[in-house]
Amino acid sequence: MAFLIIFNVFPLLYSLGFSFTDFRASSKAAVNFVGLKNYTDILADPVIWRSFSTTLWYVIVSVSGQFVVGFGLALMLNRPIPGKGFLTTLLLLPMMLSPVVVGLFWKLIYDPSWGILNYALGLGKTAWLTDANLALYAVAITDIWMWSPFVMLLSLAGLSAVPKHLYEAASIDRASKFYTFFRITLPLVAPILLIAVIFRTMEAFKTFDIAFVMTGQPQAELISSRLYKMAFAQWQTGPASALAYIVLIMVLCITNIYVKYLNKAKER
Amino acid sequence: MAVVSTRSGRLGNRIAIAIVIVITLIFLSPIYWITTTAFKPLVQATSVPPSIVFEPQITPFVKLFTKRAQLTAPVAPEVYEAAPWWERLVLDGGERLARDGKGNVVFSAYPDRFINSLIIAITSTILAVSLGTVTAYGFSRFRVKGEADLLFFILSTRMLPPIVVAIPMFLMYRAVGLNDTHIGLIILYTAFNVSFAVWLMKGFMDEIPKEYEEAALVDGYTRMQAFFKIVLPEAATGIAATAVFCFITAWNEYAFALILTNRRAQTAPPFIPSQIGTGLQDWTVIAAGTVLFLIPVAIFTFLLRNHLLRGMSFGAIRK
């Protein structure tokens, strides 16, 4: 416990202090207390607002993509399929890989002149990662590739927990497949799906490595990359700490919701 | 679904199998592509149209481990004859190996970074799992005041975006001289993983019946003896699964490694991308580095397949 406090709470208090100053970690100039100026500056900065809206859009695109692909796969896998265990394990591989390395080899796949993707889809010389409009979607596609298996894994667990006798009863009552799905499957799987979605939302919001490695497009700049640039490229330590605090509070809110649902799932 | 005995049900099943197999292949194709790129000759890696058929070779791996320079003049036949097979591969590509004053081959930075990754990931895993197991035992067996809050606090430390924590960490480490050291990263990854280990191990501990230890305590064992002789062996599978998860997290970690290390203690994740953009982009070498880096994780994924669900949901969902 003491260990966790030293390494988690102390740094945060330390940076809370910095967030009210004009401290720059790269210079020895005297540190001045500037009050809430950093916070007001950040909230007035259009670049940061753009990063936030980019991040929001990115979260929506990638999480809904993961949901559709992951849940769809789970529905299809939830049948007596020979070699199901092996197929599932293969499908799960992407989510265990290192995000940076994944970003890196997708860069090779996306390459405009000799990437396999443009060739396979016959897209000519589409510059996925350097086109301002496409870059964000290219990163989102990679994220969907990586994390759909996670949604699939949780959905499969949810689907296999649905009691079989409910389906038997439904088929005796001659309920349509449509009806069975919306009245039996979906309500029973919903809690676990919700956990998957909240968890992915939280993670997508924090995305740094993939986006940072794959593209430098300002239109595709996520809040984490913005933060990294402010803190370690421009060395605006004070303002960066303030921004970090804003992000922190947002993440803690989502985390709180997540843990609440996690505990609910545990009680079942 | 449960009812599959009808004709249409069976047909639906076949269609589902076909779709699943196609999707699996699409999912695996990026991994296949990077793996084959690592065995391609340089010209074929970036050829248009992409070459599917090629003669596999291990030149990229030789290049990955060595420092090279462009050949200015063709090599003399006797030098070529005297060179070992792996050096010939490099000579064939129009480059020569860099050698130090004594004529020994100069290694590239990759093996160093790889070993750094191994040292840091393994040490931090051992520390995190041992701390986590003991803490989880405490939470599982004793009434702790405000247990739910404490557990939430422990978990929230892992949920923080790394970049947010990295700013104060960087300043602190700079102040105490832990920047770019193995110990610095080990401590950090341990702190990061302990929270996860506690959550996961608590789930495993809760499954071990209390009666086992109670019987042992009645027989005159001390708490410590009961823990080491009864609980630990029972929890062995759980410990192994937790350890693998911690290892993969530490192994894959990028943001902290990028910010807190630059040379001596740099791990492979920040190193591999930094190779891009230094001079000529040799994708085969980058692919080779990537493949070597991914192998341990791929192996562990297969070993862990039955525990993945549990690990990914912080032990909340069990099958």
For A135-162, the pLDDT digits (tens) are 888 889 999 999 998 898 888 888 888 8
pLDDT of residue B4: 46
**A195 with B317: Cβ contact below 8 A:** yes
Whether A27 shows a pLDDT value over 70: the answer reads no
**A4 with B191: Cβ contact below 8 A:** yes
**B316 with A241: Cβ contact below 8 A:** no
The domain defined by A38-246 folds into MetI-like fold (1.10.3720)
pLDDT of residue B88: 78
Q: Rounded to a whole number, what is the distance in Å from the CA of A239 to chain B's nearest CA?
A: 11
* Its pTM surpasses 0.90: no
What is the average per-residue pLDDT within A228-245? 81
What are B70's strand-pairing partners? B95
B110-312: CATH homologous superfamily? MetI-like (1.10.3720.10)
Whether B216 shows a pLDDT value over 50: the answer reads yes
For B110-143, the pLDDT digits (tens) are 888 889 999 999 999 999 999 989 888 888 888 7
Domains of chain B by residue range: 7-45, 67-97, 110-312
In terms of C-beta distances under 8 Å and separation of at least 24 residues, what long-range contacts does B183-186 make, across chains too? Answer: B184/B260, B184/B261, B184/B265, B185/B120, B185/B124, B185/B256, B185/B257, B185/B260, B185/B261, B185/B265, B185/B267, B186/B120, B186/B123, B186/B124, B186/B127
**B27 with A94: Cβ contact below 8 A:** yes
What is the average per-residue pLDDT within A92-118? 82
What is the average per-residue pLDDT within B249-253? 88
Write the CA distances from A21 to A27, A37, A81, A237, B298, integer angstroms.
Answer: 14, 9, 61, 9, 46
Count of A-B CB contacts under 8 Å: 238
Confidence of residue B3 (pLDDT cuts 50, 70, 90): very low
pLDDT of residue B286: 82
Q: Rounded to a whole number, what is the distance in Å from the CA of B90 to chain A's nearest CA?
A: 23
Q: Rounded to a whole number, what is the distance in Å from the CA of A197 to chain B's nearest CA?
A: 12
C-beta of residue A88 within 8 angstroms of C-beta of residue A95 = no
Write the CA distances from B232 to A43, B140, B201, B220, B319, integer angstroms.
Answer: 52, 14, 11, 18, 22
Q: Which of B168, B276, B313 sits opposite A154 (nearest CB)?
A: B313
Q: Sign of the CA dihedral A58, A64, A68, A73? A: positive
Whole-number Å distance between alpha carbons of B131 and B148? 19
Whether B319 shows a pLDDT value over 70: the answer reads no
- In one-letter notation, the amino acid at residue B23 is I
Whole-number Å distance between alpha carbons of B37 and B32? 9
Residues of chain A with Cβ-Cβ distance to B153 below 8 Å are 4
Domains of chain A by residue range: 38-246
**A145 with B27: Cβ contact below 8 A:** yes
If you search the block for the tokens 């992407």, which residue do you land on?
A: A94
DSSP B7-50: HHHHHHHHHHHHHHHHHHHHHHHHHHHHHHHTTS-HHHHT-SSP
Q: Could you tell me which of B141, B43, B228, B36 has the C-alpha nearest to residue A114?
A: B43
Computed over every residue of chain B, the mean pLDDT equals 80
pLDDT of residue A13: 72
pLDDT of residue A63: 92
**A80 with B3: Cβ contact below 8 A:** no
